[in-house]
Amino acid sequence: MEQGIEGTDIFVVDIKVSAANAIKVVLDADSGLSIDKCVAISRQVEHNLDRDAEDFSLEVTSFGLTQPLKLKRQYIKNTGRNLIIRLTDGSALKGKLVNVDDNILHLEKTLTKKEIKEGVDAAFTVDIEDVKEAKVEISFK
């Protein structure tokens, strides 16, 4: 599979193989991922597997908007977007991802008028290690 994505901005997010040899490959790309690219990579992966030696099913799919982010590269790709983050301690945060530095997420929250008057700082940071789940907030504006 690496041959099919080498030299592109496509990267592997996840690979799962079930006990019944159902293979699921989840891909993402910095510039977006078309169905045609998924089909081409699926064909290449299938070409490199031997159905005579082992029966399998193969699904190559793109990362979905509703799925939680898994890789640092996905955070970088989503810089400028609002994230909804659940931390390992059970708390939840929401903010616009401004930057990713090492393993630190730099975010800004939208302040209320009261918070602005009180001088609350909109900027905050989160260590990626402390993130249980982070999703991009879907906006229809």
Would 49 be classed as within a structural domain? Answer: yes
Same domain for 76 and 46 = no
Would 141 be classed as within a structural domain? Answer: no
Would 46 be classed as within a structural domain? Answer: yes
Would 67 be classed as within a structural domain? Answer: no
Q: Which of 15, 32, 62 is the last residue of a domain?
A: 62
Report the alpha-carbon distance of residue 31 to residue 48 in Å, rounded.
Answer: 26
CATH code for the domain in which residue 127 is found: 2.30.30.100
Report the alpha-carbon distance of residue 135 to residue 113 in Å, rounded.
Answer: 26
Same domain for 110 and 88 = yes
Residues 85-129 pLDDT 10s: 999 999 999 999 999 999 999 999 988 899 888 988 899 999 999
Predicted model pTM: 0.81
Report the alpha-carbon distance of residue 31 to residue 25 in Å, rounded.
Answer: 18
What range defines the domain where residue 10 resides?
Answer: 2-62
